[in-house]
Structure 1
């Protein structure tokens, strides 16, 4: 249960509007399958994207025996299994449980944690966040209150380089240059600076404080920014909670410096590859397992990092490229994303993945990235500047720029083969 606290009422602001939900959270997991047009779907949470080789083999076994044979990466570094028989839930759970992928059945949908995938490999981060990741996942699974978190609530553990700090997590912990940690909530502009050794415990306490605030608001909300509070309201409440737990903290301005995900190629003591549209065949997954010496790290940018000390870099990259994975940092695939589209989604109006692949040659090396969506929901769309390519009713697409600080520019596209002309009209 949430600890009882006597605290001032949290403040709302005229510029912030709560976003109540009129239904329960239907986010899929491993124990709750989602019915899609191509069969049932399971979403396997993988905290920090970290998989042992044995766990990777178990996922491949599940995909081949129970699903469509492919592994689908999500924008949170998780794995989706598609094409499942709706009655395979018990068998799937047993398989994943035996591999250590279900440490707590009551928490399996709330283990949403992204972490800097190159942490500890390339010497660029302030600290290795693996101890934070291990501690937070364990604390999350031990918290009775955390079972009430939405399957959409997200934690981010950033090693100081600013990669996952820019992903819009509900609770972000970023390593600070002075050896401490900065705790941020949603899009708030300030942080709580605290000792690094308390980072994981503080992140969980922040999530529990959010749950308490959401319950007090009387609204069903899933994310921190949906509460409709001013920037300081929830942060103040978290600060009081940390003080009660004996964790010192200091209010500071938030570091807004962000970087992107790792580029393909050799990176320190590892290899990085990008997965076109996030879909890995069984053959590609086997190549990754074959090269991995101990573990695989799935990234929120639909890539994979392999810590590979002592492995021949050139030979390994050549094998991965031959399998169809992206190993070059200037590949146009790095600037193209898409939802699942037809035939997997009943709401989609088009086979967006086929159209996205067909238009790959129109991608400018330094232009805005493109995200193709089968409908206005734009499932899985990335944060940041981009061009949204949304399938329109009656056929064709609607293109719209999404650039921070600028009004969107739009145009229609009847034939995906002519996308270069359409892009020039709204981006030039």
Structure 2
């Protein structure tokens, strides 16, 4: 990839901002650009790396109750959406977000799309400090005038080497250490930094090696090179995958990435829980904050004791406290202890693997979206609850990369908003039932079913291994 000057380096002149013409408006919603929906306005708040402090999480819960429908939605990019907002509440929402550091840049707020390995440093797998990369990338994006030319759909992924977020086919993916598509291979590394990081552009099967210490600079350079190449060629695109020949692939072969979400339940360094369709009430959100706050309090007490015992020393340990929202619509709580799980389960969170709800998603559907042909979330919930027996013994995340139950996504219309990447079961509303298809590189034949037949058809499709 040809070198591109780092726009945030000292002494580098930044040309005037120039946004490429993509032929149609980028209507991606944001925190300042609210999207009108049938159930009120929608705001999407970018959370780079899915990272939230307890104070920020509480501010979002308070905003959902005061300004919206009292619900918070997590997205496939680890962001948060508020729905049912009054059209005139934009200034109030912006003030609330700004007060807790969730709106660091009004000109760049929609381009802060960064996902990162949510279990990095918490599950015993050797990993890079991707949270530091997240913070550096976010700060430098907001400081780069040219970056405002990126689409609100452009995605950065920072993978700690396990291959989880690398499987999301982001526009620019940084993979730490030795890229691995399976946990077993990743666990063989003695350290995440023993081999160079690799930069993947779009869906390329080869990447560019990255010099240690230049990881974020390389990510920014790739994004800028994409914008520059669009302007030079006169082509129109939001994503690198739309123009795979625009930037050269690198010399490093890449594996097929597994894309496994963190296992639900207890991690060596915290807890992992799931949300049904990524939705949580403000009360549920506060239960997450309570579990996170307990971890922070325990760590603070331990650090104080250590520093008292050894004056002048600094406590060293895993990062604790706060929340990490995952691209699989779950939440990781660093440092939270196992004794918090019963309260989280009581609050309605999924706290263990093996449920049909694993990797099950759905679009908004009726009544929130006028384009939908069905109340897909209600129909999907009934099918998933009915499928508990049908999927017995099929693990949604089998170890070693062995295929388990495929992801499944319900859509109310042909747009299929929020569907997963890779191979997945597509359940599409038809107005008189649903069409079930195993989608992916080589789609299998579809079957049309009634609502009553859907649970069995979906369970069968999710068992597909070919």
Compute the TM-score of the two structures, normalised by the length of structure 1.
0.87
Aligned to 2:426: 388
Alpha carbons of 1:100 and 1:407: their partners in 2 closer, same or farther (altered >3 Å)? closer
Correspondence 1:146-161 to 2 at 5 A: 146-161=147-162
Aligned to 2:243: 227
Q: Does 2:364 correspond to 1:326?
A: no
Note the C-alpha offset of 1:228.
Answer: 4.8
Note the C-alpha offset of 1:79.
Answer: 0.1
Aligned to 1:301: 328
> Which secondary structure state, in structure 2, belongs to the residue aligned with residue 146 of structure 1?
helix
Aligned to 2:199: 183
- Check conservation: 1:261, 1:301, Cα contact below 8 A: yes
Out of 363, 378, 386, the position equivalent to 1:339 is 363
Q: Does 2:88 correspond to 1:87?
A: yes
> Which secondary structure state, in structure 2, belongs to the residue aligned with residue 333 of structure 1?
coil
Instruction: State how far apart, in whole Å, the 2-side matches of 1:204 and 1:312 are.
Output: 37
Correspondence 1:194-205 to 2 at 5 A: 194-205=210-221
Instruction: State how far apart, in whole Å, the 2-side matches of 1:369 and 1:323 are.
Output: 25
Aligned to 1:264: 264
- Check conservation: 1:369, 1:386, Cα contact below 8 A: yes
Aligned to 1:400: 437
Aligned to 1:415: 451
Instruction: State how far apart, in whole Å, the 2-side matches of 1:278 and 1:402 are.
Output: 22
Aligned to 1:172: 173
Deviations 1:92-133 (CA, angstroms, capped at 9, x unpaired) = 001001110011111100000000001121231431212211
Aligned to 1:364: 391
- Regions of 4+ moved over 3 Å: 416-419, 421-428
> Which secondary structure state, in structure 2, belongs to the residue aligned with residue 273 of structure 1?
strand
Instruction: State how far apart, in whole Å, the 2-side matches of 1:357 and 1:426 are.
Output: 16
- Check conservation: 1:179, 1:196, Cα contact below 8 A: no
Note the C-alpha offset of 1:257.
Answer: 3.5
> Which secondary structure state, in structure 1, belongs to the residue aligned with residue 381 of structure 2?
helix
Aligned to 2:9: none
Deviations 1:268-318 (CA, angstroms, capped at 9, x unpaired) = 11100010111011121010000103200000000000012xx541x2000
Cα RMSD (Å)? 2.0
Unpaired stretches in structure 2, ≥5 consecutive residues:
7-20, 179-193, 297-320, 395-404
- Check conservation: 1:163, 1:260, Cα contact below 8 A: yes
Correspondence 1:235-254 to 2 at 5 A: 235=248, 251-254=251-254
Unpaired stretches in structure 1, ≥5 consecutive residues:
5-19, 237-249
Q: Does 2:131 correspond to 1:115?
A: no
- Check conservation: 1:180, 1:194, Cα contact below 8 A: yes
Deviations 1:374-425 (CA, angstroms, capped at 9, x unpaired) = 0011100111222111001x42111111144x34210111224543157548
Q: Does 2:231 correspond to 1:218?
A: no
Note the C-alpha offset of 1:253.
Answer: 1.4
> Which secondary structure state, in structure 1, belongs to the residue aligned with residue 107 of structure 2?
helix
> Which secondary structure state, in structure 2, belongs to the residue aligned with residue 134 of structure 1?
helix
Aligned to 1:286: 286
Question: Aligned residue pairs: how many?
Answer: 391
Note the C-alpha offset of 1:427.
Answer: 6.5
Deviations 1:330-350 (CA, angstroms, capped at 9, x unpaired) = 121114211110001111110
Instruction: State how far apart, in whole Å, the 2-side matches of 1:3 and 1:50 are.
Output: 29
Deviations 1:190-241 (CA, angstroms, capped at 9, x unpaired) = 1111123100111011000000111222232100011251xxx5136xxxxx
Correspondence 1:51-62 to 2 at 5 A: 51-62=52-63
Moved more, 383-392 or 40-49: 383-392
Instruction: State how far apart, in whole Å, the 2-side matches of 1:139 and 1:334 are.
Output: 35
Instruction: State how far apart, in whole Å, the 2-side matches of 1:386 and 1:36 are.
Output: 27
Instruction: State how far apart, in whole Å, the 1-side matches of 2:452 and 2:215 are.
Output: 47
Moved more, 118-127 or 372-381: 118-127
Note the C-alpha offset of 1:251.
Answer: 3.0
Alpha carbons of 1:126 and 1:312: their partners in 2 closer, same or farther (altered >3 Å)? closer
Aligned to 2:187: none
> Which secondary structure state, in structure 2, belongs to the residue aligned with residue 196 of structure 1?
coil
Compute the TM-score of the two structures, normalised by the length of structure 2.
0.80
- Check conservation: 1:214, 1:227, Cα contact below 8 A: no
Note the C-alpha offset of 1:176.
Answer: 1.4
- Check conservation: 1:385, 1:403, Cα contact below 8 A: yes
Aligned to 2:376: 352
Note the C-alpha offset of 1:180.
Answer: 2.0
Alpha carbons of 1:84 and 1:425: their partners in 2 closer, same or farther (altered >3 Å)? closer
